[in-house]
Structure 1
Amino acid sequence: MLTDELARRACSQRGLSIPEELSPASVLAVAETDVADLGSIVAAALAHSQAARTLLAALEAEQTVPEAAVRDYYDRNQDRFLTPDALRRGVDPFGEAAPSDTLPYEDVREAISRELLRAAGRQAFFGWLDQSRAGVTYSHGHEHPGDPSHPDHEHRH
């Protein structure tokens, strides 16, 4: 709830329009791998808060990824760009892979760029959330479980 309220305020300050939440069907399903990457609190906020999703989309749209970063990602992660045939043959991307065993940069450039933009948007969202929560004072007994600033950070609700 806190993340939703903070996101609503941030959207208002930025002049962002938050789509109406129509029904439980508007709840976003968050993939398990995304929950692991995002953390459970952020994943729950994005699943249930249109404001948080709107803010994340705005933050992602503000990001830029230089062409050199996209190319560097491709060069450092050759294992992710093996052709299906190379995978079937068990080609070692860091050993004896032939140029034909790897998908061409031009074919995967856009997907890499989208992935890096998404990661940069998430990083900006995490930074925004950390900064926004820094000024929040919780009522006694309503601190978040696991908050190390709380003397009893191992309590449960």
Structure 2
Amino acid sequence: MTEEYAASVHGDPIPKQHVDTFLSPDSPRGAGNCATNHTGAAHARQHLAALSARAARQRRRWATQVIVTDELARRACAERDLAPPDDVLPMRLLTVPETDVADLGSIVAAALAHSPAARALLADLEREQHIPETAVRDYYDRNRDRFLTPEALRRGVDPFNTVEPSDVLPYDHVREGIEQELRHAAAHRAFFAWLDRARADVVYAEGHEHPGDPSHPDHEHRH
């Protein structure tokens, strides 16, 4: 793999340009060029520069993971005979909701936000999930606080004490929503499992390793 490639997927190289393009709209700004002879200020600038360089390296590694995930998802879609996703490369970095980052991790959240192939694969995985009726009913029974009627909420009913049956929405009214929520969660777990398997054979160029790879000094175990 030559220097212009960020990673190799089953022998096929991913150009560094894809990573650079993905990051280009939010290129880090400099810390300023105000000159001073004060020793303390100079040390502070050096420290900030080091932190900025470290952040830039981790940002590049993070972006490489997003690009690799898109490529792996494209291959998975082809293997599954899914309709080819719209070609949106070069992807560009946009805002990802903080709730998605909290639930999925920043790499997967960004990949799903920017990659039609990743979304198509997730949707296909969701269609494959079977949620047993017992699991739906168990969720309903264990989470009655989520299914209080509007009247019960207005009265301030404590769902963790004795609750009258009339204070809880009937099971048949909420069953479909619960099943969909559980299927959605199961699909995300399946997506994570697929991604762990799929990227096991990916080869990364120096400086483009996974942000959590302990083999490089800046590693952070975050997704």
TM class by shorter chain equals: 0.7 to 0.9
8 Å contact from structure 2 (residues 136, 178) kept in 1: yes
Gap regions ≥5 residues in structure 1: none
Identity of aligned residues (%): 64
Alignment of 1:69-148 (within 5 A): 69-145=135-211, 147-148=212-213
Letter matched to residue 213 of structure 2: P
8 Å contact from structure 1 (residues 18, 50) kept in 2: no
Letter matched to residue 160 of structure 2: F
Bigger-Rg structure (1/2): 2
Q: How far apart are 1:35 and its partner, in Å?
A: 2.2
Letter matched to residue 37 of structure 1: D
What is the aligned-residue RMSD (CA, Å)? Answer: 2.2
Partner of 1:16: 82
8 Å contact from structure 2 (residues 88, 115) kept in 1: no
Q: How far apart are 1:42 and its partner, in Å?
A: 0.4
Question: Aligned partners of 2:173 and 2:181: how far apart in 1?
Answer: 14
Letter matched to residue 152 of structure 2: A
CA offsets 1:43-101 (integer angstroms, 9 cap, x no match): 10000000000000001101100000000000000000001111121111121211111
Alignment of 1:5-44 (within 5 A): 5-21=71-87, 31-44=97-110
Letter matched to residue 43 of structure 1: A
Partner of 2:3: none
Partner of 2:219: 154
Relative to structure 1, the CA distance from residue 28 to residue 75 in structure 2 (aligned partners, 3 Å threshold; closer, same or farther) is farther
Which of 1 and 2 has higher RCO (CA within 8 Å, sep 6+)? 2
Q: Greater shift after overlay, 90-99 or 4-13?
A: 90-99
8 Å contact from structure 2 (residues 126, 183) kept in 1: yes
**Matched residue SS, 1:93:** coil
Relative to structure 1, the CA distance from residue 104 to residue 29 in structure 2 (aligned partners, 3 Å threshold; closer, same or farther) is farther
TM norm structure 2? 0.63
Letter matched to residue 96 of structure 1: T
Question: Aligned partners of 1:28 and 1:10: how far apart in 2?
Answer: 24
Gap regions ≥5 residues in structure 2: 1-66
Picking from 111, 131, 141, the partner of 1:45 is 111
Question: Aligned partners of 1:87 and 1:42: how far apart in 2?
Answer: 36
CA offsets 1:85-125 (integer angstroms, 9 cap, x no match): 11121111121211111000000000000000000111000
Relative to structure 1, the CA distance from residue 29 to residue 99 in structure 2 (aligned partners, 3 Å threshold; closer, same or farther) is farther
Partner of 1:3: 69
